[in-house]
Every structure is written in structure tokens, then in C-alpha cells.
Chain A
Amino acid sequence: GENVEQHPSTLSVQEGDSAVIKCTYSDSASNYFPWYKQELGKRPQLIIDIRSNVGEKKDQRIAVTLNKTAKHFSLHITETQPEDSAVYFCAARHAQSNYQLIWGAGTKLIIKP
């Protein structure tokens, strides 16, 4: 079955710098890759997603890139702000999986003032 690995587990960056979180997946048939942000004590919320027919997607300060050959995808956050502090989860979904997501273990992003 699908397996998703996420690195690093903790990332500390200076406010205003960029942050990059990477995920690798094992099943080449996976075709949908979302990123969720979870603030402390809250529910996960979708921040950006990408489908396998696209290599990159941007939404203001957030971007996701996908390398299907290497089976990895990354979240890029530019000009980080204190409100970006949270745990970020990547996930992968197989085309025939009844919309089941396989989740990474999460990255705790700390923005230092």
C-alpha cells in the first residue's frame, strides 16, 4: 500500500525567511497531493493541493511542487509570518482508493521573531 514520509519533523525559521517541507510517496498510481495546516488544538485545514498532471501550484506565499518521477512533493512558504507557526501535514491519495488519504507524520513549523 501507499506510504508517505515527511521531513523534517521540526523546522525553525526566522520570520521573513522561507520554509520548505518535503514528502515522498511510494505508490506511483497516487494522483492527488494535499497539504493541511493544523494549529494547536484545532482541526486540520487544507491550504493547497496539487494533482499529478501539474508540476507546480502557487497561492500567494504558498506553493507546492511535484516531481512524479522521483515521487516527491514539497511545500514552500515564502516571507514567513508568526501566524504560519503550526503543524503541516502532507498526504497522498490513490486514484482507486475511495478518496482515502495516506498522511505524513507532520512537520512542526516554528517561526522565530
Chain B
Amino acid sequence: NAGVTQTPKFRILKIGQSMTLQCAQDMNHNYMYWYRQDPGMGLKLIYYSVGAGITDKGEVPNGYNVSRSTTEDFPLRLELAAPSQTSVYFCASIPLAGAGGELFFGEGSRLTVL
């Protein structure tokens, strides 16, 4: 199993551009999450999904959108990028409810908006 795979690993955007961060997991996990981590800070939840076709907002959803058309994929869309979105983005997943609490993280996507 590859686990949780994120692409791209690094990206520089200009203000106002849009892009999609890709996240895929091959562990058949139902729950998937997108976090952002600003320098020297903890993790803030952007969006999450409890299964295909179901998504919901986390703590900091403004400026982002997600979709979950399959169990495997959970892309994060940034519209009209702003410098405040400069951050490291982590995708994570866990199995079905009750199967354990460990979050499986991707390697992260480092985004800079100039």
C-alpha cells in the first residue's frame, strides 16, 4: 500500500490564481481530512469527508472547496489564491469508525502565494 499520496509537493502561485491539491489513499479509509499548518503552528482543519459524496467544513474553510466522488480521492481546490493561504497542507485519513484512532498523513504540499 502507498498509504496517503499528495501532489504536488511544492507549488508557487500568484495572487488570484487557482489550483487543486490532489490527495489519494489506497487503504479503503472512509474518513478523510484536509489540514493546513502555518509556520510554527498546529494543524487547522479545513474540510473533511466521512465517505464518498459527503463533505463538511472544518475550522478554516473560507477560500477552499473539496469534493469526494470516490472513496480514494479527496482533492482540495483553492480559488483566487491569497498570501494568507501560504502554508503546508496535509491530507489525512482514518479507517471506518471504531477501527482505531490513528490519522494516516500524506507527506504534505507546501504552497507559497506571492
A49 pairs with B90, CB closer than 8 A:
no
Asked, given contacts A32-B101, A34-B101, A98-B56, whether A43 binds B108 with beta carbons under 8 Å apart, the answer is yes
Q: Which of A's residues lie within 8 Å of B, judged by CB?
A: 6, 32, 34, 36, 42-46, 49, 89, 93, 98-101, 103-106
Complex Cα spacing A44 to B42, Å: 10
Structural contact, A43 and B106, CB atoms closer than 8 A: yes
The answer to whether A101 touches B103 (Cβ under 8 A) is: yes
A45-B41 CB under 8 A given contacts A98-B50, A99-B31, A100-B58: no
Seen from chain B, the residues whose Cβ lies within 8 Å of a Cβ on chain A are: 31, 33, 40-45, 48, 50, 56, 58, 90, 94, 97, 101-103, 105-108
Partner of A44, one of B45, B50, B105: B105
Q: In the complex, given contacts A43-B106, A45-B105, A98-B50, what are 20 additional A-B residue pairs having Cβ atoms less than 8 angstroms apart?
A: A6-B42, A32-B101, A34-B103, A43-B90, A43-B107, A44-B90, A46-B103, A49-B102, A89-B42, A89-B43, A99-B31, A99-B101, A100-B48, A100-B58, A101-B43, A101-B103, A103-B43, A105-B42, A106-B41, A106-B42
